[in-house]
A and B are shown apart, each in its own frame.
Chain A
Amino acid sequence: MADFFNIIFSVDFGYAVLRVTTPILFAAMGALISDKAGVINIALEGMMLISALTGVIMSALSHSAGLGLLGAVIVGALVGMVLAYFALNLKTDVILAAIAINLIAMGGTVFVLFMVGGDKGISSSLASKVLPRIDIPLIRSIPVLGPILSGHNILTYLAFLSVWVMYIFIYRTPLGLRIRAVGENADAADSVGISVRKIQYTALILSGALAGFGGAYMSMGYVSWFSKNMTAGRGFIALAAEAMGGATPHGAMFTSLLFGMFDALSNSLQTLRVPAEFIQMIPYLATVIGLVIYAANKTEQIKRIQAHQNREARKGAQEVKLL
C-alpha cells in the first residue's frame, strides 16, 4: 500500500498523467465539436491514425517538425471533409461511414507506409522529426508542481490550450453559436438562413483537424515514429470522455484527465501482485463508473431544472395573461 501511494504522489506520475491525457484530450475536443453540431464522429480513431502517419512522412520529407504537424492537421481536416461528404451529401449513415473510414485508415496507413518507407510495421526508415518539449521558466521552479507541469511536449500545452479556445469558440463566437444551434435544432438554424450542411462540414473538418493534432502527438511527440494501429483505441476513449464530460470543453478535459490518471495508474501498478489483465481493465472500468456517476447526477439535476423551468414557464404564462 505504501508503494501505491509512493507511485501516485510521485512527480513522475503527475507528469505521466498529462502525457497520457494529451492525445485523448485532442480527440475529445474533436468529438465535442462534432457533437455540438449534431453529428457523432466515431471516425476519430482512423483520423488520428492517418494524421499520425502524415506527420511522420511530412516531417521526414520536409525535415521540419512544424510542417509535419501542419500536414497532419490538414490531412485530419481532409478526412473530416470526406466523412462530411459521405454523411451529409451522399447520406451514408454517419456511423457506417465512420466505421469505413476506420477500416480504410487501418489498412491504408500500413499500405502507404509500405509504399513510402518500404516497411509495414514501423516508420523507422523515415527520418521523421519530433515536436519540441518546452520548459516553462517560471513554472519549472515551483516545487512539486513545477516538474509536473513543465517540460512537456508543445502539443501537451496546446491540448490544454485547445480546451480554452474551444470554450471561447463554442460559447462566444458567432460560428460557435451557429454550431450549437445546428446541433440542437437544425430546422431552426435552417429557417434563419444558416446552411446546416456548411456548419456540419465545418464542425467535422475542425473535428478532423483536432484529431490531426492528436495523431501528430502520437507519432511526433509521444513516440518518434509511426507504427501500425498505434492509436490503439484512443479515439474511442476520447469519445467516451467527451460523453462523460457532458459535452462541455471543461467536462471533457476533466474526464480525459481522469482517464489519463487511471491509465497512468494502470501502467505503474503492473508491479503489484495482481494478474495483469485486471490492471489493464482499470481505466475502462473507471470510465464506466465515472460515466454512471455523472449520468446519474445529471439526471437528477435535469429533473430539478426541468421542474424549475416548468414552474417559471407557468408563472410567465399567467403574467402574460394578466397584462
Chain B
Amino acid sequence: MFKQKRLFELVRTVLAVLIALIVALVTILFASDEPGRALSLFLFGPLDSLRHFGNVLEMMIPLLFTGLAVSIMFSAAQFNLGAEGAFFLGGITATSVAINQSLLPVVHPVLSILAGGLTGALFCGIPALLKVKWNASELVSSLMFNYVALFLGLYLINYYMRDVDAGAMVSFKLADTSKLIRIIPKTRVHFGLILAALTVVAGYYFMYRTRWGYRIRLTGLNSSFARYSGIQTASVIILSQVLGGFIAGSGGAIEILGMYRRFSWQSLPGYGWDGIIVAILARNNPALIPVGAFFLAYLRIGADLMARSSDVQSEVVYIIQGVMIVLIAAESFLAHYRHKLVYREARKTAASGK
C-alpha cells in the first residue's frame, strides 16, 4: 500500500515535470529560433561541465540556509517572511567583521558568521516579539521590516563600510583570513556547502528528535493544545523565529564570505523568497530541503545557461520557473487516479481479508 503510494507520487512528480517541460518548450518555441538547442541547454547545461555543476551547488548553499530557516518558522505556523531581510543584514554584519584585517584565520569567518547569525536572529525576533506581545501579524510586520532592513543595510554600507576608492557602492575588501575556502577545484563551491549540509542535518535532528523541535511542531499544529500540554507557546514562537533568523542570517554571512570579494548588494537578493519556495516544496521537512534546493538551483542555472548561450530572452526563464514550481507542488494533480488506485487496493485487501 505504502509502496504503491510512493510509486504513485513518483509518477505524479515525473508527469508534472513533463508537463512543465512541455509548457517550457512551447514558451521556448515562441522565443527561439533554435528551440531544441535551447531546451537541451536548459535541461543538461548544468551537467555539461564541472564548473556548471559547481554553479548549481553554489546556488544551493544560500537556498539551503533560507529554506531551512523558513521551514522552521513555518513549522511553528509563524509566517515570518523576514528570512529575506535577515539574509541581507546577516551579510552586512558579517562584512563589518570580515573587513577587519587583523583577525586570525578560522576565527575570523567563525566570528563573521556568528555576527551575521545573531543579526538575523535579532531581525526575525522582532516580528516574533510583536506577535507575542501585541498580536501584531508577523507576516505583515516582517514584510515591512524587510524594506527597513534594506535601507538600514544600505545606510550602514554607505556611511560606515564604503570603500571610497572603489568605483561603486561597495564595502572595503573582505580580509583573506575571513574567506571560506573553496572545496571543489575549478568551481567556486566553498566550505559553506559543508556548513549548509551540517546545518540541514542538525535542523532535521532538531525538529524531529529534540524536545525543542517537538515543541515547535506542536505549537505550529495546534497552539492551544501545545499550551494545554504545558508548553510555553510564547517562547516557542519566539524561539522558532529567532532560530530561523539565525540560520538565515548565517546564510547571508556565508554567502558573502564564500562568494564575494566585497559586500556589494544594493537590493534584497531574493533568497528569502526562494527559501519560501524551497520550504513549501519540502513541506517544511528539513530532510527534503536539499531536494527542494537542488531542484530550484538546477532550474535556475539551467535557465541561465539557456538564456546566456541561446537566443532565448533571459526573462523567459522566470516563466518557466513559475510554471514548474506550481505544477510540481500541485497536490491534487492526478488525485483522481490516485483515488482509483486507493480504492482498488482497499477492495483487494477487503477481499483477501474475507
State whether the Cβ of A107 lies closer than 8 Å to any Cβ in chain B: yes
Write out, one digit per residue, whether chain A residues 36-60 have a CB within 8 A of any chain B CB (1) or not (0): 0000000000000000000000000
B143 near A240: Cβ-Cβ < 8 Å: yes
> Given A103-B318, A103-B322, A104-B318, are A111 and B313 neighbors across the interface (CB < 8 Å)?
yes
| A106 interface residue per 8 A CB criterion | yes
Instruction: Verify B144–A288 contact, CB threshold 8 A.
Output: yes
A185 to B143, CA, bound (A): 27
Interface contact A243-B326, CB-CB below 8 Å = no
Q: Which of B31, B133, B155, B316 interacts with A278 by CB under 8 Å? A: B155
**Chain B hits for A318, CB < 8 A:** none
Which of under 10, 10 to 19, 20 to 34, or 35 or more describes the interface residues of B? 35 or more
Q: Report if A236 contacts B (CB, 8 A).
A: yes
Q: Which 9 A-B pairs have the closest CB atoms?
A: A107-B318, A90-B330, A104-B322, A277-B155, A107-B315, A296-B134, A91-B332, A100-B322, A295-B136
Interface size on A (CB < 8 Å)?
Answer: 44
Q: Are B143 and A96 in contact (CB under 8 A)?
A: no
Listed stretches B117-125, B226-234, B248-256, B273-281; interface member: B273-281
Cross-chain contact A111 with B137 (CB below 8 angstroms): no
Chain B interface: which of A125-133, A175-183, A202-210, A279-287? A279-287
Query: Is B331 a contact partner of A91 (Cβ separation < 8 A)?
Result: yes
A sample of 25 inter-chain contacts (CB < 8 A) reads A90-B333, A91-B332, A91-B335, A95-B280, A96-B276, A96-B280, A103-B321, A103-B322, A104-B319, A106-B315, A107-B319, A108-B315, A110-B315, A111-B319, A239-B143, A284-B144, A284-B148, A288-B130, A288-B141, A288-B148, A291-B137, A291-B140, A295-B136, A296-B133, A299-B134
Asked if B323 is an interface residue, CB under 8 A from chain A, the answer is: yes
Q: How far is the CB of A50 from chain B (nearest CB, A)?
A: 12
A295 to B280, CA, bound (A): 28
Contacts of A6 in B (CB 8 A): none
CB contacts (< 8 Å) of A239 on chain B: these are: 140, 143
Q: Are A298 and B140 in contact (CB under 8 A)?
A: no
Chain A positions 261-298 with a Cβ under 8 Å from a chain B Cβ = 275, 277-278, 280-281, 284-285, 287-288, 291-292, 294-296, 298
Say what secondary structure dominates the interface of chain B: helix
Decide if A292 touches B130 in the complex (CB within 8 Å). yes
B323-354 residues at the A interface, CB under 8 angstroms:
323, 325-327, 329-333, 335
In the docked arrangement, what's the CA distance between A101 and B317, Å?
13
A108 and B140 alpha carbons, distance in the complex (Å): 27
* In-complex Cβ contact of B280 among A90, A93, A243, A285 (8 A): A93
How many inter-chain residue pairs (CB < 8 Å) link A and B?
A: 140
Report the bound CA distance from A236 to B273 in whole Å.
13
Chain B residues lying within 8 Å of A110, measured Cβ to Cβ, are: 313, 315
Those of B1-41 within 8 Å (CB) of chain A? 30-31
B266 to chain A, nearest CB (A): 11
Q: Closest B residue to A281 by CB, please name it.
A: B151
Closest B residue to A40 using CB positions: B139
CB contacts (< 8 Å) of B134 on chain A: these are 292, 295-296, 299
Which residues of chain B have C-beta atoms less than 8 A from A243's C-beta?
137, 139-140
Chain A residues with CB under 8 Å of B152's CB are 277, 281
Given known contacts A90-B332, A93-B329, A278-B151, A100 and B323 CB-to-CB distance under 8 angstroms: yes
**A92: which B residues are within 8 A, CB to CB?**
326-327, 329-331
Known: A95-B79, A108-B319. 19 other contacts (CB 8 A): A90-B330, A91-B330, A92-B327, A92-B329, A103-B321, A111-B315, A111-B316, A233-B147, A240-B140, A244-B140, A277-B154, A277-B155, A281-B148, A284-B145, A284-B147, A288-B145, A291-B140, A296-B133, A296-B136
Question: A281 and B147: CB pair below 8 A?
Answer: yes
The reply to whether A287 and B313 form a contact with Cβ atoms under 8 Å apart is: no
Q: Which residues of B contact A (CB under 8 A)?
A: 30-31, 79, 130, 133-137, 139-141, 143-145, 147-148, 151-152, 154-155, 158-159, 273, 276-277, 280-281, 313-319, 321-323, 325-327, 329-333, 335
B325 contacts A100, C-beta separation under 8 Å: yes
A86, CB-defined interface residue at 8 Å: yes
CA distance A20 to B322 in the complex (A): 30
The answer on a CB contact under 8 Å between B326 and A100 is yes
Interchain nearest-CB distance for A262 vs B (Å): 11
A191 neighbours in B (Cβ, 8 Å): none
Q: Which of A103, A280, A295 is the one whose CB lies under 8 Å from B135?
A: A295
Q: Using Cβ atoms and an 8 Å threshold, which residues of chain B touch A288?
A: 130, 136, 140-141, 144-145, 148
